[in-house]
Amino acid sequence: MRFGDRGYPNCVNASVAKQLIESHLVSGEMKPGEEIAIRVDQTLTQDATGTLVMQELEALDLDRAKTEVSVQYVDHNLLQADEKNAEDHAFLRSACRRYGLWFSKAGNGVSHPTHMKHFGKPGKTLIGSDSHTCAGGSLGMLAIGVGGLEVASGIAGEPLYLRMPEIWGMRLEGELPPWVSAKDVILEMLRRHGVKGGLQRIIEYHGPGLAHLTAMDRHVIANMGAELGATTSVFPADDAVRVFLREQDREDDFTELVAEDADYDISDEIDLASLEPLIAKPSSPGNVVPVREVAGTPVSQVVIGSSANPGLRDFAMAAAMVSGRQSSDAVSFDVNPSSREIFADLTKMGATLDLISAGARLHQTGCMGCIGMGQAPASGTNSLRTFPRNFPGRSGTKEDSVWLCSPETAASAALTGEITDPRDLADKLELEYPSLDLPERATINLDMLVAPLEPDEAQREELVKGPNISALPDFPPLPDRIEAPVLLKLGDDISTDEISPAGARALPFRSNIPKLSDFTFTQVRENYPQQAAEIKDTTGHIVVAGDNYGQGSSREHAAITPRYLGLHAVVAKSFARIHWQNLANFGVLALEFDEPGDYDRIDEGDTLVLDRLRDLLPGDRHAQIHNATKDETYELHHRLSERQVEAVLAGGRIPLLARRPDADQEKVDV
């Protein structure tokens, strides 16, 4: 059955991305840069961001989820060093029961591959309060990571608003050589284009090379499209997707979605046969070099797992490489299975025994070290990980040195104790490239996926709130005049991990904004929370930043906690997409320099003045900011739509949505 056979536009010559958008378009024109609204079919939340989403549903007075499928996963805050994470999990379970969401129990699996296995459907839209939601594009979905408030609005029946991206066609030729895998494909993209290369773009992969990439290979590539800054990545729903759904006993959910001779706004090409093992050096996913260039660098930790390499093949490859061998005594060799089902299949294959016998430590099925929940490396040592991100301090160690690589490169380092090109290891050990005998049918265990309650029963459900579950703060409207000091001046590519850090110290307070605010910007300046609190109720403050401010995680905490501490505005050269939207959602004004050189004219401590904002913003995209300290004026602009301006002026979207009399009944008419 083709995509058009189910009532969707049967425009085979259009790109897959445009077919998906057109079939869900609620309003707007599909012209790059124009604001559009699309219907939301599915939503995904995880426990590090989901608690806020559930608090937002409560603030919106939602009766019941209006999406086709909404799922809450518990895969991040799994360490229970005290009561806080357990309280969050109880709250999330009760919210799922109250609002009609699926609940994936702690330890069931990492959200993205688990959602792909059980709920992903070609032709559907998926939004998630996790930036790696874009991994769903591997199935021919339009899967977009957004802020939690966008997800809450989607669950409540609102469309998703976004700027229409350009469609970037990436043609794949050839076939990957031995010892090179899907992780090296996305690392090649990052090597070529850096962490800003995908901004305001959807990357659509096509071409004959796709025939040699499985659906899980595509998941690896689509997942880390987030590190390019892309809105999302899209693959066709073809025979590889059909095979995957058949393995999951869901072939009936397959719909063919392809593009033939599509026109793209931008075109590029990769010859898969020309690729070699690659690695991202600390401390950016875009800092990519060939493995051989850094071979011999000592390694003290290797971690295999996460949403970036979550497939059975990834773990089985590492197990086959270390089988009958022992890992280096200089290396902590850690394995985080991505789901209980994959753990079961590894065990049936005998791969679990191979890993354990080689010295691997098996951890919980979850994100774990990827979000800094355990597995923090020693200071001054190198950690190789199959993870998607290596931003400074994300591992839980402030002065960390994290490298990103494929399972083949990670397993090679585990055996040798140093960065090693797997091709060179193969030559040394006379090791043939493993031919993996993966099962034709995956283990399927639905017992840890809890279905929504029936509406009548859900109405009687009470939210369970432990002492660590706070209410969302009430933020006042944006003042007409801002006269405030620049409390921080930051450089390029500041990540949300640096604004609101991950790790075992901070993550347990995700449901407690006042307490979480104590960690804000501490990666950059330890006393920022104290400095901001001192002027919160008088002048408030402003942050000045370089390019791509707010890259990385979708966590809206990175907008909320600075706002809680009195942040009125961020003036930057440019913003990352999700964080820019999150700032607007919570009433923080995001402005950009007309002349990037004016950034250099501002110093920390300068007092900046923005005046007549309530008259200016609704009708003009241009503004001036006066530096009272230097008696200089700079030209600025914003990219906010009228809808976003209304939210900023009101102090955020929640006051607007909650005060609508039909907020809990409205469903978008498409």
Domain that holds residue 106: 10-274
Same domain, 365 and 257: no
- Could you say which of 246, 274, 302 is where a domain stops? 274
Which residue, chain included where needed, has tokens 């599509």?
262
Mean of the pLDDT values across residues 26-45? Answer: 96
Q: Quick one: 34 and 19 in the same domain?
A: yes
* pLDDT tens digits, 300-309: 999 999 899 9
Distance between CA atoms of residues 523 and 527, nearest Å: 10
The first and second tokens of residue 606, run together, are 């300068």
Judge whether residue 5 has pLDDT over 50.
no
Report which of 568, 605, 612 is spatially closest to residue 586, judged by C-alpha positions: 568
In this structure, what is the dihedral angle of CA atoms 202, 370, 494, 561, given to the nearest 10 degrees? 110
Res. 658 pLDDT band, cuts 50 70 90: low
Q: Count the domains in the chain.
A: 3
- Whether 454 maps to a domain, the answer reads no
Q: Is residue 450 part of a domain?
A: no
- If you average pLDDT over residues 489-511, what whole number do you get? 90
Q: Tokens 């075109």 map to which residue?
A: 267
Instruction: Please check whether residue 510 lies inside any domain of the structure.
Output: yes
* Residue in the block written with tokens 């043939």: 432
> With contact defined as beta carbons under 8 Å apart, do 549 and 570 qualify?
yes
pLDDT of residue 379: 92
Find the mean pLDDT for residues 246-259: 96
pLDDT at residue 3 in the model: 53
Domain closes at, from 274, 301, 332: 274
Mean pLDDT of the region 582-607: 97
> What span, in angstroms and rounded, lies between the C-alpha atoms of 443 and 440?
10
Residue 445 has pLDDT above 80, yes or no: yes
Q: How far is CA 616 from CA 392, 481, 543, 613, in A?
A: 38, 11, 21, 5
pLDDT classification of 506: cutoffs 50, 70, 90: confident
DSSP classification of residue 453: P
The rounded radius of gyration (Å) of the Cα atoms in the chain is 24
392 pLDDT band, cuts 50/70/90, is: confident
Q: Taking all residues of the chain, what is their mean pLDDT, rounded to a whole number?
A: 92
Q: What percent of the chain has pLDDT over 90?
A: 82
Task: Provide the token pair at 302.
Answer: 């290797």
142-155, pLDDT tens digit by residue? Answer: 999 999 999 999 99
Do 217 and 96 lie in a common domain? yes
DSSP secondary structure code for residue 368 in this structure = G
| 330 and 423, same domain (yes or no) | yes
Query: Same domain for 405 and 511?
Result: no
* Same-domain check for residues 252 and 284: no
Is residue 507 within 8 Å of residue 376, measured between CB atoms?
no
Inform me whether the pLDDT recorded for 439 exceeds 60: yes
Q: Which residue has the higher pLDDT, 470 or 134?
A: 134
Render pLDDT for 528-578 as a digit per residue (tens, 0 to 9): 999 999 999 999 999 999 999 999 988 899 999 999 999 999 999 999 999
Look up the CATH number of the domain holding residue 648.
3.20.19.10
- Residues 53-101 pLDDT 10s: 999 999 888 999 999 999 999 998 878 878 888 899 999 999 999 999 9
pLDDT computed for residue 11 by the predictor:
53
pLDDT at 366: 83
With respect to residue 632, please indicate whether it lies within any of the assigned structural domains.
yes
148 phi/psi in degrees, rounded to 5: -60, -35
Phi-psi group of 261: left, alpha or beta (phi > 0 → left; psi -120 to 50 → alpha; rest → beta): left
Q: Which of residues 250, 274, 298 is at a domain's end? A: 274
312-321, 431-440, 593-602: least confident range? 431-440
Euclidean distance between CA atoms 13 and 5, whole angstroms: 15
**pLDDT of the residue at 399:** 87
Query: Which amino acid is present at 328?
Result: S
Are 343 and 242 found together in one domain? no
Whole-number Å distance between alpha carbons of 389 and 280: 9
User: What pLDDT, on a 0 to 100 scale, did the predictor assign at position 9?
Assistant: 47
Say if residue 289 is in the same domain as residue 249: no
92 & 159 share domain: yes
Whether 190 and 250 map to the same domain: the answer is yes
159-182 per-position pLDDT tens digit: 999 999 999 999 999 999 999 999
Residue 283 and residue 270 in one domain:
no
Greater confidence, 18 or 555? Answer: 18
- The amino acid at 94: S
Task: Give residue 8's pLDDT.
Answer: 42
Q: Which residue has the higher pLDDT, 4 or 331?
A: 331
The answer to whether 397 touches 303, Cβ cutoff 8 Å, is no
Looking at the domain assignment, is residue 461 inside a domain? Answer: no
Whether the CB-CB separation of 274 and 176 falls below 8 Å is answered with no
pLDDT of residue 608: 98
Question: pTM value?
Answer: 0.92
Is residue 5 classed as helix, strand or coil in its secondary structure? helix
How far CA 16 is from CA of 39, 113, 590, in Å, comes to: 17, 21, 32
Question: Does residue 382 sit within a domain?
Answer: yes
Are 34 and 49 in contact, with CB atoms under 8 Å apart? no
Query: The domain spanning residue 266 has which CATH number?
Result: 3.30.499.10
- In a domain, residue 465? The reply is no
Of 21-35, 111-125, 333-347, 357-371, the least confident = 357-371
Q: Is the pLDDT of residue 409 over 90?
A: yes
Q: Which helix (H) or strand (E) holds 637?
A: strand 632-637
pLDDT at 660: 55
Can you read off the two tokens belonging to residue 378? 């020693």
Q: Do 118 and 254 belong to one domain? A: yes
Any domain includes 347? yes
Q: Which pLDDT value is given to residue 443?
A: 92
